[in-house]
Structure 1
Amino acid sequence: MEVLGYFASLFIGISLGLIGGGGSILTVPILVYLFHVNPKLATTYSLFIVGLTAAFGAVRHYKMGNIEIKSASYFAIPSLMTLLVVRKVILLRIPETIAFGTSFSISRSMIIMVLFAVLMIMASYSMIRTQKAVVKEAKVEPIQLITIGAIVGIITGFLGAGGGFLIIPALLFFARMKMKQAVGTSLLIIGFNSLFGFLGDVLNGVAMDYTFLLSIAFIAGIGIFIGTFLSKKIDGAKLKPIFGWFVLIMGIYIIAKELTS
């Protein structure tokens, strides 16, 4: 299963490079089901892997002129604030097991994976549906960007997911970007949020296997170079529905697996 996990890690980067998101949706299930990492620790590992991979991709897109710093700042600052509150305050207060009376209890690991599966299903809808054309003459709407940025921070904090499925549509409709600019700016936001979130966990004393982390990040990094190269030849927007159906199936599978195990 580990061999399959390393192979699957390549697609974390390819997805981020091609469509500016989706990589984090794959990362936690890969870590949990193929590498048998505890779900809570997997969210921390995901922050590092996705953050480092997205940062590599952001550098590439910056050189290509595909990053809008001002719009990214509207997103990044509120999302980082909510992310740190979730990981340093809320997540640490969730017990390992939550009991409902004397006959029923649910583990924190199960809660994380079911919530992650719900997130995957929500993300799949965003990917599958057809995006409307963006009106370029309209102004950037910072309030909407700040609000969605705060929501993305909460998602990233709880589940270790970058939130690209929310960031891309927000940049298209509220920052009036072209698709390639939205992809590049999304990678910058994801990299910024995820790496700072990971740093927060390091400061909290979370024990980690850095050799394992760097090996997965290296493979995902190769994937993002492939994805960025392919983005010059392939319209990532056309591939999003296909990836969305895959994410939908995976989300349903995870819910079924967690509820029947």
Structure 2
Amino acid sequence: MLSLTGGLLGLIIGAVLGLTGAGGGIFAVPALVFGLGMDIRSAAPVALLAVGAAAALGAVQGLRRGIVRYKAAMVLAAAGTVTAPLGVQLAHWLSPRWLNLVFVAIMLVIAYRMFLSSRSTQADGDLRDEQAKACKVSKDTGRFLWNLRTATTLGSIGVVSGLATGMLGVGGGFIIVPALAHFSELRMHSIVATSLMVIALLSAVTVFIAWSHGLLLTAPTWAFVLTALVGMAGGRAVALRIPSKMLQRVFSITCVSVAALMLMRNVG
């Protein structure tokens, strides 16, 4: 029964990750906590393995379509690799209750940022952000125009996402997607595909660290990991047919709902 539950949860998480490039990671840990009864510290590396494997599949699909900004992904992942081990160490220092509270706080902040992003009109965005965007994109190629500001901004995003990846097992996409939407001129579908590549790279490093600390997978957790791949394939297949703003709003509302459940569990 638990294997069936794990499989169903993995399918859902993979689909959400494929659609948003961010939601799968942020929802994977709560899914394991509520669905399989794991504590947040044990759930984090399992969630990261599932999210990382699914993200790798999505990244390959994005590369084939030419929408992954792979140079940016390498910069983000390299910066994140530096701080991911520190995040793993912090997860061992903090109690599960405090980890839970940090998780809830981050979910609420990201939900708020995503909702604000979904409300801005294209005209508003063009007028307000044309000069403010740190990471400019070539109108001809759709690729980044590289300079010191671009590299520094992407590196900073990578540092924060790596820390979150190691500490909370969330892949970092929930930081990368809104950050790239705010600081770059990339279109949302390219942001999602690039985020998936970074998640795959960061997850591989962090899962290796967790494995060296004795990570063990049970039948339900294996089911969770494997069906996440199926969900990812389905999510990426329909992602381009759904408006970005709708995805952002659904993601925000779901984030708030899951955060409330996590908070009630913490208080209880």
User: What TM bracket, shorter-length normalisation?
Assistant: 0.7 to 0.9
Q: CA deviation at 1:220?
A: 1.1
8 A contact 1:19–1:237 mirrored in 2: no
Aligned-partner Cα distance in 2 for 1:142–1:213: 37
Aligned-partner Cα distance in 2 for 1:212–1:231: 28
Aligned length: 245
Q: CA deviation at 1:148?
A: 1.5
Q: In the alignment, which residue of structure 1 is the partner of 2:110?
A: 123
Closer, same or farther: CA 174–251 of 1 in aligned 2, 3 Å: same
Aligned-partner Cα distance in 2 for 1:209–1:150: 28
Q: In the alignment, which residue of structure 2 is the partner of 1:169?
A: 178
Aligned-partner Cα distance in 1 for 2:178–2:44: 24
Q: CA deviation at 1:163?
A: 2.2
- Structure 1 residue runs of 4+, over 6 Å off? none
Any gaps of 5 or more consecutive residues in structure 2? 119-124, 131-136, 139-143
Q: In the alignment, which residue of structure 2 is the partner of 1:104?
A: none
Aligned-partner Cα distance in 1 for 2:182–2:110: 17
Q: Residue type of the partner of 2:205?
A: F
Q: In the alignment, which residue of structure 2 is the partner of 1:233?
A: 241
Matches within 5 A, 1:127-142: 127-131=114-118, 132-133=125-126, 135=130, 136=137, 139-140=145-146, 141-142=150-151
Aligned-partner Cα distance in 2 for 1:218–1:127: 29
Deviation per residue, 1:144-189 (Å, 9 max, x gap): 1111210111111111112222211333343432211111110000
Any gaps of 5 or more consecutive residues in structure 1? 96-107
Task: Give identity over the alignment, percent.
Answer: 26
TM-score (norm 2): 0.84
Q: In the alignment, which residue of structure 1 is the partner of 2:20?
A: 19
TM-score (norm 1): 0.86
RMSD, aligned α-carbons: 2.1
Is residue 91 of structure 2 the alignment partner of residue 91 of structure 1? Answer: yes
Q: In the alignment, which residue of structure 2 is the partner of 1:215?
A: 223
Aligned-partner Cα distance in 2 for 1:245–1:173: 19
